[in-house]
Amino acid sequence: MPAPGQRLATGEGITINGRTLGSAEESKCREPVVSAVAPDGRKMLRLEVRNSQTPIERKPEWIKTRAKMGPEYNQLQKLVKSEGLHTVCQEAGCPNIFECWEDREATFLIGGDQCTRRCDFCQIDTGKPQALDRDEPRRVGESVVTMDLNYATITGVARDDLEDGGAWLYAETVRQIHAQTAEREAGRTKVELLIPDFNAEPDQLAEVFSSRPEVLAHNVETVPRIFKRIRPGFRYERSLKVITEARAAGLVTKSNLILGMGETREEVSEALQHLHDAGCELITITQYLRPSVRHHPVERWVKPQEFVELKEEADEIGFSGVMSGPLVRSSYRAGRLYQQAMDQRRSAAAQQSGEIAAAQVV
């Protein structure tokens, strides 16, 4: 499933000087832009205007997926439709929905549809969010129960408008899912919590960590050199600090890198090392797919072989679990990655116990 903003490119058009741009055929306009209006009628940001000068890129042949609809997927699809449930999996057009739903895994977005920050790859709108919906955690928990999920990923928008940055909302959603699935026959639903950085405020992070999600994810997304341009509301070192603090709290940690936004191959290797050194255990690596002409252009299409090489490199660095591929998303096969992390933790603990016992005998 996708992180917010990572979805198949839509070719969404915009109006510039009376002309609609969007597809490769339509977007050959190169004259200076005086004014621009987005599809929702608002005035576009300068960055969006600049981005719109580059047409939506044609995807290479390897950026494709096949629909494999198994029995679990078909059952969940009917259930979601009949109950009027909403998942990021469907609404973001995730290419991995068939596989994830077959494993009874799904992703939910909390906090509304307006983010207080803007990342240049992200589909979610930036604006003034609505008032906090304190009943949302309960409803998400009910959806998880109704869908009988084995694993739920909870992600959301940044809520800098709230005094606690939305920390309670994230934490309470985890608590509700755990509480409502406590008596589940197949075992309590595991929760992966994909969070913003909360400005690395200790009290806010402590509130989130106290809910004890099975996995605490915070996505760095890109490399230091272009980080400020791609994610102006975040800071690279601050994101690494969030991961370090989560690991120190005993949580399984996870992050994501999106390729194709201007980074070099060497910078990807450096970022992987930074993440591992910060305490990140699980990593997903994916290809950037531009949501619309308003978003950052695709700088390069990473070939499948490079994703294979990056997985091998991440394994060698020491990550407990790695998913790397053009259509991988940050919550793709999330339950399996979590299990890999737990297996490695148990193996390390057993080895340490054996070494201690051997030392005592000597």
Beta strands in 268-342 (DSSP E): 282-287, 321-324
Dist. CA 108–CA 213, nearest whole Å: 14
Q: Are 52 and 16 in contact (CB under 8 A)?
A: yes
Is 115 among the annotated ligand-binding positions?
Answer: yes
- Whether residue 35 is annotated as binding a ligand: the answer is no
Structure tokens given for 39:
């599809």
Angstrom distance (rounded) from CA 325 to CA 314: 13
- φ/ψ of 149, rounded to 5, equals -80, 145
Q: Per the annotation, does 100 bind a ligand?
A: yes
**Is 29 marked within a binding site?**
no
CA–centroid distance for 255 within its chain: 8
Q: Residue 202: how many CB atoms within 10 A of its CB?
A: 9
Pairing of strands 321-324, 125-126: unpaired
Nearest to 110 by CA among 45, 175, 189: 175
Give burial (CB, 10 Å; 0-12/13-18/19+) of 31. exposed
Task: Please tell me whether 280 is known to bind a ligand.
Answer: no
Q: Coil, strand, or helix at residue 97?
A: helix
Instruction: Write out the two tokens for 155.
Output: 């992600």
Question: Distance from first CA to last CA of the chain, Å, rounded?
Answer: 51
In angstroms, the Cα distances linking 333 to 131, 215, 284 are 33, 13, 10
Q: Please tell me the distance from the alpha carbon of residue 189 to that of residue 211, in angstroms, as a whole number.
A: 14
Contacts of residue 350, defined as CB under 8 A and 6 or more positions apart, other chains included, come to none
Residue 348: how many other CB atoms lie within 10 Å: 11
Do the annotations mark residue 23 as ligand-binding? Answer: no
82 is in an annotated binding site: no
Residues 181/143, Cβ–Cβ less than 8 Å: no
Residue ranges of the binding site: 89, 94, 100, 115, 119, 122, 331
Residue ranges of the binding site for [4Fe-4S] cluster: 89, 94, 100, 115, 119, 122, 331
